[in-house]
């Protein structure tokens, strides 16, 4: 099992013992997130180009970002069979869910019959962990651990 806040899913990828993940206010697509932030900072039409987005950072992201990984089939999909709860906020301007939406949508289609994806976007919460999100995470963890076919 695994839970994290404001991190990438990458650390959970190679670990087969992890059965579930709860990304809280996170973003698995760094380029999408930085695109949003660059436009917020420098205005519409601003792009991810050096010097604002150095080539060395682009290369690192291309090699390590979950959104850059091909995970369309079971042998190459580190998320296959895992249960995932994504917690986000509809009013978060620092890590808006829109930056993760494409990745999360694609991920949900590749988890396999034993995997599952639940996405909860809390309206108006901003960039903070709310009591409602904590309850949602606790319920998800309990449901996952105590499921009849649980491996935990």
CATH of the domain at 125: 3.40.50.1820
How many domains does the structure of the chain reveal?
A: 1
pLDDT at 2: 37
Residue 7 has pLDDT above 60, yes or no: no
**Residue 152 maps to a domain:** no
Kindly give the pairing relationship between strand 116-122 and strand 83-89: parallel
Range(s) of the domain holding residue 65: 4-145
pLDDT digits (tens, 9 = 90+) for 94-149: 999 999 999 999 888 888 888 899 999 999 999 999 999 999 999 999 999 998 87
**Residue 151 maps to a domain:** no
pLDDT digits (tens, 9 = 90+) for 38-70: 999 999 999 999 988 999 999 999 988 888 877
CA distance 60 to 83: 27
**Residue 25 maps to a domain:** yes
**Residue 150 maps to a domain:** no
State the burial class of residue 119 (Cβ atoms within 10 Å of its Cβ: 0-12, 13-18, 19+): middle
Report the b/e string of 6-32 with b at 16+ CB within 10 A.
eebbeebbeeeebbbbbbbbbbbbbbb
**Residue 75 maps to a domain:** yes
């Amino acid at each position: 099992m695994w839970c994290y806040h404001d991190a990438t899913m990458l650390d959970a990828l190679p670990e087969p013992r992890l059965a579930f993940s709860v990304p809280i206010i996170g973003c698995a697509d760094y380029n999408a997130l930085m695109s949003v932030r660059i436009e917020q900072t420098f205005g519409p039409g601003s792009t991810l180009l050096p010097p604002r987005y150095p080539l060395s950072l682009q290369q690192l992201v291309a090699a390590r970002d979950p959104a850059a990984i091909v995970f369309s089939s079971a042998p190459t999909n580190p998320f296959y069979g895992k249960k995932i709860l994504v917690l986000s906020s509809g009013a978060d301007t620092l890590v808006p869910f829109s930056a993760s939406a494409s990745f999360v949508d694609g991920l949900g289609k590749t988890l396999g019959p034993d995997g599952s994806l639940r996405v909860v976007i809390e309206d108006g919460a901003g960039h903070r962990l709310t009591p409602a999100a904590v309850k949602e995470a606790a319920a998800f963890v309990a449901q996952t651990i105590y499921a009849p076919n649980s491996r935990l």
